[in-house]
Amino acid sequence: MAGTLNELILLNSGISSCIPPEIGKLDKLTVLDLSFNSIAGTLPDTIGNMRALEQLDVSHNMLAGEIPESICELPRLKNFTYSYNFFCGEPHRCLEVPRIDDRQNCIAGRPDQRSGEACIAFLHRPPVHCDAHGCIAPPNLPPPPPPVHAPPPPVY
């Protein structure tokens, strides 16, 4: 499927997990829309492997951290929307993408951002561990040992 899928539109799908790093294997995608969900964690830098990507929308989620520079270096990226999240930094290169929307984040020095209080409150929440949400498969554990059976009581 990675070689034939051109668009992946999952907007308003009720997703409440993290974006798995394996998404970067969808290198033929031209459109990726994950907006209006409850996606948490950070943007995986493997999205930077999606060299055909033209439109990326991750707005209206609960993403945080820094925008990976590899995403903003995508050669065909024309529209990158990451508004209404909690990103705290974006590489200068992102400002060179023809159309970006970075409103309502926590990016210092950018217009129309969330209040400092809202950003601090969000950042003081317990951290999201994507591996705990099933984005990263747990290692294969050995099977548990067989149960130990007590000998039957003596018969008198």
Task: Report pLDDT digits (tens) over 117-135.
Answer: 999 999 888 767 676 544 4
Helix (H, G, I), strand (E, B) or coil at 57: strand
CB of 85 closer than 8 Å to CB of 52: no
The tokens 């554990």 sit on which residue? 141
Q: For position 135, what pLDDT does the model report? A: 47
Q: What is the pLDDT of residues 47-105, one digit of tens each?
A: 999 999 999 999 999 999 999 999 999 999 999 999 999 999 999 999 999 999 999 99
**What predicted TM-score, i.e. pTM, was given to this entire model?**
0.81
- Say which CATH topology domain 7-131 has: 3.80.10
pLDDT (0 to 100) of residue 1: 62
127: its two tokens: 């951290």
**Residue 27 identity (one-letter amino acid):** D
Distance between CA 34 and CA 83 in Å, rounded?
12
Q: Which residue has the tokens 């929440």?
A: 125
pLDDT greater than 50 at residue 112:
yes
Rounded CA gap, 60 and 112, in Å? 15
Identify whether the C-beta of residue 26 lies closer than 8 Å to the C-beta of residue 5: yes
Alpha helices in 3-155 (DSSP H): 69-72, 116-123
Parallel/antiparallel/unpaired status of strands 31-33 and 55-57: parallel
Answer whether 44's CB lies under 8 Å from 66's CB.
Answer: no
| Confidence label for 147 from pLDDT (cuts 50, 70 and 90) | low
